[in-house]
């Protein structure tokens, strides 16, 4: 019988961890596999660890570690030949595992991730932002270069081959990890015929902007890890360009050139439009296009701020030179 170890990093997720663990157990039972649940707690102050133990999970208490280290520590005690990484606020479908086991056995792919959807009660901006990375229902699966770690499934040998997650990354560790898997020959598959539910959606604008600032703080570390590739440089450059255009617009307005300022402001909305068209055209939904246009415009400004802040902190850590 197959054995799967499901590693779940957690911090103050008492609202969601019971649902996450129960869904994982149901999926393992439906696939007729032995299931080992490992919750790696980052110092929660709520009842999350106690709830996890009630569902039979092994709970490691490791406060102060970054997300990659939490996943690696959980994997270190895992005994399954299959590994799954799930976020503590994600509910996997009961039909999650067996079809992916079959695909792997047929030699079509090695590492899998399911699309995420938000529950019906999520605010529009959280739903729209989640949909930007999902595929339309008619596209069942597609090969990708990297996968987010909200849910990942692979054989243990692939994790060992690349040495696990980068423990120095504050965020973006999923992209960095799966890029290395892809570079080592793993075939990554994003699956859409079954979806996971993301219950930890952003409930208000402040939370959404805070998460985006946090996510965008990884660009510099990814560049230092993987080198100056155009793939990794393009979004930071685009966000900095938007900041420069904003500065030029304000300068033109202060110098008495309102028409020049209007041109600059117009240019700042073009990158967001291009990104929203590229991500929404597959859904054929004009409302989603408009929603993503506004969200991308805001995200580009947040990304520029995060990149500049991380650059300043990186420079501050560099040794002084005479």
Query: Distance between terminal CA atoms of the chain?
Result: 63
Helix, strand, coil percent values for the chain (each to nearest 5): 50, 15, 30
Half-sphere exposure of 292 (CA within 13 A, CB side): 25
> The whole model's pTM is what?
0.78
Q: Assess contact for 178 and 152: CB atoms under 8 A.
A: yes
Q: From first to last of its 322 residues, what are the pLDDT tens digits of the chain?
A: 899 999 999 999 999 999 999 999 999 999 999 999 999 999 999 999 999 999 999 999 999 999 999 999 999 999 999 999 999 999 999 999 999 999 999 999 999 999 989 999 999 999 999 898 887 765 668 899 999 879 999 999 999 999 999 998 888 899 899 999 999 999 999 998 788 999 999 989 998 998 888 777 665 666 666 566 666 667 778 888 888 998 899 999 898 999 989 999 899 999 999 999 998 998 889 999 999 999 999 999 888 787 777 767 644 333 322 2
Rounded to whole angstroms, how far apart are CA atoms 215 and 224?
Answer: 16
3-state SS assignment for residue 47: coil
Listed in sequence order, the DSSP H helices in 32-190 are 48-54, 67-76, 97-105, 124-131, 156-162, 173-183
Name which of 126, 130, 117, 139 is nearest 192 in CA terms: 139
């Amino acid at each position: 019988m197959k054995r799967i170890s499901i590693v779940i990093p957690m911090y103050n997720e008492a609202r969601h961890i019971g649902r996450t663990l129960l869904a994982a157990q149901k999926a393992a039972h439906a696939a007729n596999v032995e299931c080992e649940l490992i919750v790696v707690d980052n110092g929660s102050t709520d009842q999350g660890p106690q709830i996890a133990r009630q569902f039979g999970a092994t709970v490691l208490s490791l406060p102060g570690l970054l997300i990659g280290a939490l996943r690696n520590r959980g994997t270190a005690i895992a005994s399954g030949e299959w590994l799954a990484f799930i976020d503590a606020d994600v509910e996997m479908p009961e039909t999650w595992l067996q079809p992916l086991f079959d695909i792997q056995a047929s030699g079509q792919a090695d590492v899998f991730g399911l699309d995420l959807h938000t529950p019906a009660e999520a605010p529009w901006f959280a739903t729209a932002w989640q949909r930007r990375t999902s595929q339309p229902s008619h596209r069942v699966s597609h090969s990708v270069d990297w996968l987010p770690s909200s849910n990942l499934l692979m054989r243990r040998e692939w994790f060992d081959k690349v040495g696990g997650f980068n423990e120095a990354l504050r965020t973006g560790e999923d992209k960095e990890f799966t890029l290395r898997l892809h570079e080592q020959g793993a075939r990554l598959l994003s699956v859409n015929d079954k979806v996971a539910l993301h219950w930890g959606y952003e409930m208000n604008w402040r939370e959404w902007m805070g998460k985006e600032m946090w996510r965008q703080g990884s660009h510099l570390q990814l560049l230092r890890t993987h080198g100056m590739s155009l793939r990794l440089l393009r979004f930071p450059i685009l966000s900095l360009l938007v900041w420069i255009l904003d500065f030029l617009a304000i300068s033109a307005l202060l110098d008495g050139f309102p028409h020049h300022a209007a041109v600059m402001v117009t240019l700042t909305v073009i990158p967001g439009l291009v990104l929203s068209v590229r991500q929404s055209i597959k859904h054929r939904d004009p409302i989603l296009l408009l929603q993503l246009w506004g969200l991308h415009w805001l995200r580009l400004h947040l990304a520029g701020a995060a990149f500049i802040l991380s650059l300043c902190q990186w420079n501050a850590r560099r040794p002084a030179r005479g």
